[in-house]
Chains A and B, each alone.
Chain A
Amino acid sequence: MERRSLRIRRIMASAMTAVALCVPLAGCGNSKPTVDADGRPIVTIRVRRNVTDNPMKDTEYSKQLETACDCTIDWEEIADSSWGQQKAPKMVANDFPDIGLTLYDPTDVSRYPNQFEDIGAHLDELPNVQAFFEAHPVARKMAENSDGQIKLLPSDRGKGYRVSATHMFINKQWLDKLGLKMPTTWDELKTVLEAFKTKDPNGNGKADEIPMNIRSLGFGLWSPLVLLNSSGVVTNFMGSSASSQGYYVQDGKVKSYYTSEELKDVISFLHGLVAERLIPKDTFTRDDSQYVAQTVNDGKTALTGVTFGWSAYSEYGNSLANQYVSVPPLKKTASTPESDVKWDYSQDATEFAYSLSVSPKAANKQAVYKIVNAMYGEKLSVEGYFGSIPTTLSDDGNHTYTIDREKAYAEYPDTRAIALQDRFAGWVPDDATIVNDDNADQVTEANKAVEDALNRVDPTGDVIPIYVRPSSDDLDTLSDNNTSIGNYANNQLAKWVQRGGIDKEWNTYLKNIAEPTLGLEENIAIWQKYYDQAVK
Chain B
Amino acid sequence: MSTNTISAASRPVQEPINKPSPFARIADHFRRYWELWLLTLPALVFVGLFAYVPMWGIQLAFREFDPDKGLTGGDFVGFKYFNKFFRSPLFGEIMTNTVRISLWTLVMGFIFPIILALLINQIHSARVKGFVQTITYMPHFISIVVIVSMLNIFLAPNTGIIGQFFGDESLMGSTGAITAVYWISEVWQHCGWNAIIYLAALSSVDTSLYEAAKLDGAGRLQLIRYVDFPAILPTCGVLLILNMGSVLNVGFDKIFLMQNTLNLPATEVISTYVYKIGMINFQFSYSTAIGLFNTVVNFVFLVAANAISKRVSNASIF
Which residues of A pack against B, CB within 8 Å?
Answer: 88, 91-92, 94, 107-108, 111-112, 114-115, 216-217, 281-282, 284-287, 476, 479-480, 483-484, 487-488, 490-491, 493-495, 498-499, 515, 517-518
The distance in angstroms between the C-alpha atoms of A216 and B282, with both chains bound, is 25
21 A-B pairs within 8 Å (CB atoms) are namely: A88-B279, A94-B67, A111-B282, A115-B67, A217-B261, A281-B157, A281-B169, A282-B157, A282-B170, A285-B152, A287-B153, A480-B88, A480-B281, A487-B268, A490-B264, A491-B261, A491-B264, A493-B261, A498-B173, A515-B89, A517-B88
The distance in angstroms between the C-alpha atoms of A476 and B278, with both chains bound, is 11
With A94-B67, A282-B170, A476-B281 in contact, is A483–B152 under 8 Å at CB?
A: no
On chain B, the number of residues with a Cβ less than 8 Å from chain A's Cβ atoms is: 35
Q: Which of B168, B264, B282, B286 is A107 in contact with, Cβ under 8 Å? A: B282
The distance in angstroms between the C-alpha atoms of A282 and B303, with both chains bound, is 45
The distance in angstroms between the C-alpha atoms of A282 and B89, with both chains bound, is 29
Q: Which residue of B lies closest to A85 (CB)?
A: B279
Q: Which of A91, A282, A498 is B67 in contact with, Cβ under 8 Å? A: A91
**B262:A517 contact, CB within 8 angstroms:** no
Chief secondary structure at chain B's binding surface: loop
**B67:A487 contact, CB within 8 angstroms:** no
Q: How does the 8 Å CB contact mask read for B268-298 relative to A, with 1 for contact and 0 for none?
A: 1000000011110111101000000000000
| B156 contacts the other chain (CB 8 A) | yes
| B234 contacts the other chain (CB 8 A) | no
Q: What distance in Å separates the Cβ of A413 from its nearest Cβ neighbour in chain B?
A: 27
| B149 contacts the other chain (CB 8 A) | yes
Q: How does the 8 Å CB contact mask read for B133-160 relative to A, with 1 for contact and 0 for none?
A: 0000000000000000100110111000
Q: Which residue of B lies closest to A479 (CB)?
A: B281
The distance in angstroms between the C-alpha atoms of A499 and B284, with both chains bound, is 38
Q: What distance in Å separates the Cβ of B8 from its nearest Cβ neighbour in chain A?
A: 32
Additional A-B contact list (14), CB under 8 Å, known A114-B68, A480-B88 = A88-B282, A92-B284, A111-B282, A282-B170, A282-B173, A285-B170, A286-B170, A480-B84, A483-B277, A488-B265, A491-B265, A495-B262, A498-B262, A517-B87
**A483:B281 contact, CB within 8 angstroms:** yes
With A111-B67, A284-B262, A490-B261 in contact, is A484–B157 under 8 Å at CB?
A: no
| B71 contacts the other chain (CB 8 A) | yes
User: Considering the complex of A and B, which 4 residue pairs feature the smallest CB-CB distances, nearest first?
Assistant: A285-B170, A494-B261, A285-B173, A285-B172
**B261:A286 contact, CB within 8 angstroms:** no
Q: Which of B87, B261, B265 is A284 in contact with, Cβ under 8 Å? A: B261
| B222 contacts the other chain (CB 8 A) | no
The distance in angstroms between the C-alpha atoms of A490 and B155, with both chains bound, is 23
Q: Which residue of B lies closest to A519 (CB)?
A: B89
With A111-B282, A286-B156, A287-B149 in contact, is A484–B262 under 8 Å at CB?
A: no
**B90:A498 contact, CB within 8 angstroms:** no
**A498:B169 contact, CB within 8 angstroms:** yes
Point out the residues of chain B lying under 8 angstroms from A112, CB to CB.
67-68
**A484:B89 contact, CB within 8 angstroms:** yes
Q: What distance in Å separates the Cβ of B189 from its nearest Cβ neighbour in chain A?
A: 19
Point out the residues of chain B lying under 8 angstroms from A88, CB to CB.
278-279, 282, 284
Q: What distance in Å separates the Cβ of A68 from its nearest Cβ neighbour in chain B?
A: 33
The distance in angstroms between the C-alpha atoms of A88 and B276, with both chains bound, is 12
Q: How does the 8 Å CB contact mask read for B241-274 relative to A, with 1 for contact and 0 for none?
A: 0000000000000000000111011001000000
**A517:B89 contact, CB within 8 angstroms:** yes
Q: Which of A284, A483, A487, A518 is B173 in contact with, Cβ under 8 Å? A: A284
Point out the residues of chain B lying under 8 angstroms from A282, CB to CB.
156-157, 169-170, 173
Q: Which of A92, A284, A286, A498 is B71 in contact with, Cβ under 8 Å? A: A92
The distance in angstroms between the C-alpha atoms of A282 and B93, with both chains bound, is 25
The distance in angstroms between the C-alpha atoms of A83 and B199, with both chains bound, is 45
Q: What distance in Å separates the Cβ of B223 from its nearest Cβ neighbour in chain A?
A: 47
Point out the residues of chain B lying under 8 angstroms from A498, CB to CB.
169, 173, 262
Point out the residues of chain A lying under 8 angstroms from B152, CB to CB.
285-287
Point out the residues of chain B lying under 8 angstroms from A285, CB to CB.
152, 155-156, 169-170, 172-173, 260, 262
Q: Which residue of A lies closest to B152 (CB)?
A: A287
Point out the residues of chain A lying under 8 angstroms from B281, CB to CB.
476, 479-480, 483
The distance in angstroms between the C-alpha atoms of A499 and B168, with both chains bound, is 11
Q: Which residue of B lies closest to A91 (CB)?
A: B67
Q: Which residue of B lies closest to A108 (CB)?
A: B282
Q: What distance in Å separates the Cβ of A476 from its nearest Cβ neighbour in chain B?
A: 6
Point out the residues of chain A lying under 8 angstroms from B261, CB to CB.
216-217, 284, 490-491, 493-494
